Amino acid sequence: MKIVVVGGPGQLVLSMMERGPATGHQVIAVGPPDLDLAAPDDGAVYAALEAASPDVIVNAAAHTAVDNAESERDLAFAINAGGAGAVARAAAKLGVPLVHVSTDYVFDGRLDRPYVETDPTGPTNTYGASKLAGEEEVRAYADNSAILRVAWVYSPFGTNFVKTMLRLAGDRDEVSVVTDQIGNPTSALDIADGILSVVANLVADADPVLRGVFHMTAQGEASWADFAEAIFAASGAHGGGRTSVRRIMTADYPTPAPRPANSRLDCRHLATVHGVALPDWRGSLESVVARLQAGTDQSASLGLGT
């Protein structure tokens, strides 16, 4: 099976490139300059995807700079909404399944429990609003699709919270991290494994039950401060630096884009329908930190850089 992943060399694209061959599938990435969703054009998007001859398409392209999106609203909506629609229409025209990656930020974070797929949405920032608009585009134009909401993504690749904390561990005696935002830290490598399973289901079975919106995060929850402490503990266990965490409130660390206080996602629907359940975040974090401390980042061998 040929899986075409739309997006630049980000965490999920690189993770798909690494994990795909182990399942016996061919995974190729299509992104800028061949396919640029910053100015989405249906004809150009379709031509780029048709040339790739996909059996299935995974749209991992996104404007993910949450704070920057507040001042780059048009760009965020162009990529996350307009681009999603163009990819959805191309997938429908090509007659292939589409997996579209979305986010926990489509919710306002006010519930006192993990969100299920049918809970009302209500993004509190531009990034979340643009991703929700992208979901609506996919639902409108690609019936043969699965929308996967992920959260708190980290990996050995690119820029993410884990790599930032590891860098700070060597520079500071103390790091201030918010403690009143909770979610499910999730390895992009685990997400890639989950996507590969969902892709196989979509290709093998036309059952509409396999289509729709699903939540895909790691098991277990944490605050950002909990997450940071676990990162430093894993770093120390593997010969790296560690530092102490000073727990602060969101109000003590204002950002241009407000974050939801509760980003937890309930993933039971995915497990029931697709038979996919990602592992606990603590074990996956240990593996990623060990890999980073050992210097075994293989992104260069994937031909996409970081």
Cα→Cα distances 272→98, 101, 135, 210, Å = 20, 19, 22, 10
Give the DSSP per-residue string, 132-144.
Answer: HHHHHHHHHH-SS
Q: Which structure tokens are listed for 297?
A: 């980042």
Who contacts 270 (Cβ-Cβ below 8 Å, separation ≥6)? 148, 194, 198, 214, 215, 216, 276, 277
Query: In the predicted model, what is the mean pLDDT of residues 158-179?
Result: 94
Report the side by side order of strands in the sheet with 145-150.
26-30, 2-6, 56-59, 98-103, 145-150, 212-215
Who contacts 187 (Cβ-Cβ below 8 Å, separation ≥6)? 153, 154, 155, 218, 278, 281, 284, 285, 287, 288
Q: Which structure tokens are listed for 100?
A: 């579209």
Which one of 127, 141, 154, 253 is the catalytic residue? 127
List pLDDT tens digits, range 24-57. 999 999 999 999 999 999 999 999 999 999 999 9
Q: Which structure tokens are listed for 113?
A: 């429990």
Nearest partner of 162 among 180, 186, 144, 143, judged by Cα: 186
Question: Mean pLDDT in the chain?
Answer: 95
Coil, helix or strand at residue 253? coil
Note the pLDDT of residue 299. 52
Rounded CA-CA distance 266/113 in Å is 9
Give the residue extent of every domain in the chain.
2-160+185-219+265-281
Nearest partner of 61 among 41, 43, 81, judged by Cα: 81
pTM: 0.95
Question: Taking 60 as the threshold, does the pLDDT of residue 296 lie above it?
Answer: no
Rounded CA-CA distance 227/179 in Å is 10
Rounded CA-CA distance 249/284 in Å is 27
Please, how many CA atoms are within 13 Å of residue 242, restricted to the half-sphere of its CB?
A: 14
Note the pLDDT of residue 295. 84
Q: Which residues pair with 58 in a beta bridge?
A: 5, 99
Give the DSSP per-residue string, 170-203.
Answer: TT-SEEEEESS-EE--EEHHHHHHHHHHHHHHHH
Question: Taking 90 as the threshold, does the pLDDT of residue 305 lie above it?
Answer: no
Question: Taking 60 as the threshold, does the pLDDT of residue 87 lie above it?
Answer: yes
Catalytic-residue membership of 127: yes
Specify the CATH architecture of the domain 2-160+185-219+265-281. 3-Layer(aba) Sandwich (3.40)
Instruction: Specify the DSSP class assigned to residue 155.
Output: -
Please, how many CA atoms are within 13 Å of residue 173, restricted to the half-sphere of its CB?
A: 0
Residue 304 binned pLDDT confidence (cut-offs 50, 70, 90): very low
- Only one residue has tokens 């809970």, namely 119
Who contacts 205 (Cβ-Cβ below 8 Å, separation ≥6)? none
Residue 171 binned pLDDT confidence (cut-offs 50, 70, 90): confident
Rounded CA-CA distance 239/223 in Å is 25
List pLDDT tens digits, range 108-141. 999 999 999 999 999 999 999 999 999 999 999 9
The answer, yes or no, to whether the previous bond of 33 is cis (omega within 30 of 0) is yes
Residue 281 binned pLDDT confidence (cut-offs 50, 70, 90): very high
Note the pLDDT of residue 300. 43
